[in-house]
Chains A and B, each alone.
Chain A
Amino acid sequence: MAKKILKVKAKASGGKTKVKMMAKHIMESGQRKDKKTGELIPAKFLQELKVEHGGKVVFEANLGTAVSKNPYIAFNFAGGAKGDELVMTWKENTGASATEKVKVK
């Protein structure tokens, strides 16, 4: 099992759920050079991120290389209650992908 990279805080209040996500990821842009060899470091970044709640997609992001290292994304959606499960799926440009789950607080 790959290590979880997403750190998520989801809090339900007033009929909506606030979600704050932070992914631990280098977001290598493919434009930096290795200082020793002078060669470009190949790009490695999160490309797609999807959040589902109760089987319904509530948020999707397509990211480029200009998103900061350890990307942070915050959004709100209507509905959601304490104890509900959010399912996050991410995909890297290398093809790697994973699904992580988190409970709403």
Chain B
Amino acid sequence: MSMNRRTVVKAIAAGSALVGASVMMPRVAMAAWTESAFKADKQDAAMKALLGSADAADSAEVTLKAPDIAENGAVVPVTVRTKMANVESISIFVANNPNPLVAEFIIPAGTEADVSTRLRMGKTSQVTAVVKADGKLYSAAKEVKVTIGGCGG
């Protein structure tokens, strides 16, 4: 990647604009978007920042539905489901993406721990679903092969 002065200046400007916007709008009370977790470039770091720990026990009770081969990495359908009780959140990570954390879903009581979405994958990677239930972390992982990447262009 070429880094000339222009892009650096632009990046700094964009960064400070973001900070400004978030300072101006603190009244939008929502679950915090954990910037450090979404910006982390390693899965372990992202998990630590988001969930407090990078240790998740592999569990057969977490079902991760994803294709074996994704023809188009820009749209990879994924479903995460679990029958566990007291699920607090479901997070999805793609290890080989520039920022492994894809999304975090907060599951309040009364909502089923069954979420489907579509994500981008840059290249073949392990996809990990982490379920937080009763304060503990459980995970399921699956490798998805990507023939055409979804990042860059």
Contacts of A97 in B (CB 8 A): 25, 28
Closest to B111 in A: A77
User: Do A47 and B33 form a contact, CB below 8 Å, given A58-B108, A65-B99?
Assistant: yes
**B21, A95: Cβ atoms closer than 8 Å:** yes
**A72, B114: Cβ atoms closer than 8 Å:** no
Indicate whether B119 reaches chain A with its CB closer than 8 angstroms.
Answer: yes
- Chain B 112-130: CB-based contact to A (< 8 A → 1; otherwise 0): 1011111111000000000
Q: Which of B51-59, B134-142, B145-153 contacts A (4 or more CB under 8 A)?
A: B145-153
**B31, A40: Cβ atoms closer than 8 Å:** no
**B33, A48: Cβ atoms closer than 8 Å:** yes
Distance between Cα atoms of A76 and B112 in the complex (Å): 6
Indicate whether A5 reaches chain B with its CB closer than 8 angstroms.
Answer: no
Interfacial residues of chain A within 38-81, with CB under 8 A of chain B in the complex: 38-40, 42-43, 47-48, 50, 56-69, 71-79
Indicate whether A91 reaches chain B with its CB closer than 8 angstroms.
Answer: yes
Number of B residues, CB within 8 Å of A: 48
**A62, B112: Cβ atoms closer than 8 Å:** no
Contacts of A93 in B (CB 8 A): 18
Indicate whether A103 reaches chain B with its CB closer than 8 angstroms.
Answer: no
**B31, A48: Cβ atoms closer than 8 Å:** yes
Indicate whether A16 reaches chain B with its CB closer than 8 angstroms.
Answer: yes
User: Do A33 and B120 form a contact, CB below 8 Å, given A59-B106, A66-B99?
Assistant: no
Task: Please tell me the size bucket of the interface on A.
Answer: 35 or more
Closest to B102 in A: A66
Indicate whether A13 reaches chain B with its CB closer than 8 angstroms.
Answer: no
How near does chain A come to B42, taking the closest CB pair, in angstroms?
14
**A64, B74: Cβ atoms closer than 8 Å:** no
Contacts of B107 in A (CB 8 A): 59
Contacts of A59 in B (CB 8 A): 105-108, 111
Indicate whether B64 reaches chain A with its CB closer than 8 angstroms.
Answer: no
How near does chain B come to A31, taking the closest CB pair, in angstroms?
6
**A91, B30: Cβ atoms closer than 8 Å:** yes
Contacts of B101 in A (CB 8 A): 64, 66
* Interface residues in chain B, defined as those with a beta carbon under 8 Å from any beta carbon in chain A: 2, 6-7, 10-11, 14, 18, 21-22, 24-25, 28, 30-34, 38, 74-76, 94, 97-99, 101-108, 110-112, 114-121, 150-153
Given known contacts A61-B105, A95-B21, what 4 new A-B pairs fall within 8 Å (CB)?
A61-B106, A75-B105, A76-B111, A77-B111
